[in-house]
Amino acid sequence: MKWTPLLATAGCLVAGVRARDFLSILPRLPQCGSECLVSSVSASSCSNILDADCICADSTFHSAATRCILNTCNVTDAILVAGLEAQACDRPVRDRHTDLILPLVIQIPAFFCPWLRLYSRWTLVQHLAVDDYLVLAAALIYIPIVVLSQCAVFGFGVDVWTVPIPEMTRALQLFFILETLYLTCLGLTKISVLCFYLRIFPQTKFRFCALFIMGLIIVSQVIIVFMQIFQCQPVSYTWEGWTKEDRDARCLNLNALTYSAAGASIAQDVIILLLPLPLLFKLQTGLKNKIGITIMFSLGIFILLTSCIRLRFLVSFGHTTNPSWDYTDPAIWSGVEIAVSLIVVCLPAIRSLVNHLVPGWVASVLSRTGGTRDGSTGASLPGITKGSRLARLSHRPKDGTILQTISHEVTYSSHGTNESQIELGRTSDVHHNDHFPG
């Protein structure tokens, strides 16, 4: 990304804090900085360049100096001027490195969710579907996202004049890689949700809509990722261009690209969130179960909320003069958005796993505390005797799957379980002829 706005980092010249020794910095200023300061005094209410209190507080002087330095100083000189001004005006040293580490609170649980999902799927249905493989791919991409985001902490969360130029360049290179991985991982989670819909909802019209939306998302994500990677020519100018001018280099409009990608992502989130709701409202199941399923599918609203919050900070940093500081919030919320996306797409399978494990745990507790009439300690559900049909089925070879209902009624199938029942968490509310409307 071409950060010409970085030249305006000297716009932090003069802002709200009293000067301590402004005179001492004048000999250390680069020529372009000295000339801009002197020429900007006439546009302000300050009496002269030595009026330190005014120089550090006057907004008119600030604007004039910013425009001048943007047009006359290179990046190195602009950063030097900004650093000297911060020192002379006794500005506090700002540090948000801790804020950049805080997303680990949600990123670490998000790391485990895909593996719990895969374990759940393999445990309950003994195979993986397309959406599971997409989540697996997203999980593998998510690992370097978390690692690199922590490696890039040194370049963000502070004011740009406190970061050595080589370190800032490395941070920008990591940021470029993270942006590419972020877009790829986010696209995979969206497509996996649609594949999940296709797997559990058989209605023809719904499947057509889901496939159409999936096609749009795939095309848009491929285009956006391609434009992200090749936003500058040569590609290395994306992270090196902020310190040098290359007349042969060409870059896309970063703001337009960023806003377009964020807007498209939010629109896709809304569509994916609303798509299954009509079918969920028509489910032939109890009200309590229907509400639970609807709430589970509606958790996608958390993805939408994080996307909107991230967009707010993208709008702010598009015109920043202090990117190492102002990019902090976008970096934080990008990490949170990916983490929330992974958690939400894995919740249905995790819910099914919990439904599968908890009854077994309860039965185990009951058997350990009360035992059986013949004194055995084997776990069994209440009301099931050794001669019952359920008991006989539970000892059949594992070439099929048993669906357990609240009344302990079981459907045994050599072709496997109805996955829609498993994924919707309805293994406790299934009968022989249960089906989806439509």
Q: What is the 3-state secondary structure (H, E, C) of 170-198?
A: HHHHHHHHHHHHHHHHHHHHHHHHHHHHH
Amino acid at 410: V
Confidence (pLDDT) at 50: 67
Confidence band (pLDDT; 50, 70, 90) for 283? Answer: confident
- 21/58: higher pLDDT: 58
Predicted TM-score of the model (pTM): 0.74
* Residues 83-132: tens digit of each pLDDT: 887 777 777 788 888 889 989 999 999 999 999 999 989 988 888 999 99
**131 neighbors 189 (Cβ within 8 angstroms):** no
Count CB neighbours of 159 within 10 A: 20
Q: Which residues contact 297 (CB under 8 A, 6 or more apart)?
A: 273, 276, 277, 280
Q: Which of 1-5, 296-300, 335-339, 401-405 has the highest mean pLDDT?
A: 335-339
Q: Which residues contact 119 (CB under 8 A, 6 or more apart)?
A: 353
Mean pLDDT across the stretch 6-15? 41
Tell me if 434 is assigned to a ligand binding site: no
Confidence band (pLDDT; 50, 70, 90) for 419? Answer: low
Report the percent of the chain where pLDDT is more than 70.
Answer: 71
Domain boundaries, the chain: 4-88, 97-356
Architecture of domain 97-356: Up-down Bundle (1.20)
Closest CA to 45 of 34, 33, 61, 65: 61
Torsion, CA 20, CA 26, CA 32, CA 38, rounded to 10: 80
- Find the length of the chain: 438
pLDDT at residue 432 greater than cutoff 60: no
- C-alpha separations of 165 from 32, 66, 77, 315, 320 in Å: 19, 20, 11, 25, 18
Mean pLDDT across the stretch 406-428? 43
pLDDT at residue 245 greater than cutoff 50: yes
Handedness of CA 269, 272, 277, 280 (dihedral sign): negative
Confidence (pLDDT) at 107: 93
Confidence (pLDDT) at 217: 95
Confidence (pLDDT) at 165: 85
* Residues 204-227: tens digit of each pLDDT: 999 999 999 999 999 999 999 999
Written as six digits, the tokens of 381 are 């559900």
Q: What is the mean pLDDT of the chain?
A: 75
Confidence (pLDDT) at 56: 75
User: 413: helix, coil or strand?
Assistant: strand
Confidence (pLDDT) at 76: 82
pLDDT at residue 377 greater than cutoff 50: no
DSSP 411: E
Burial of residue 155 (CB within 10 Å: 0-12, 13-18, 19+) is buried
Poorest-pLDDT segment among 43-52, 110-119, 257-266: 43-52
Confidence band (pLDDT; 50, 70, 90) for 155? Answer: confident
Poorest-pLDDT segment among 69-78, 252-261, 374-383, 424-433: 374-383
Helix (H) or strand (E) holding 111: helix 104-125
Confidence band (pLDDT; 50, 70, 90) for 194? Answer: very high
**134 neighbors 192 (Cβ within 8 angstroms):** yes
pLDDT at residue 156 greater than cutoff 70: yes
Confidence (pLDDT) at 105: 93
- C-alpha separations of 196 from 26, 200, 345, 416 in Å: 65, 6, 9, 17
pLDDT at residue 389 greater than cutoff 60: no
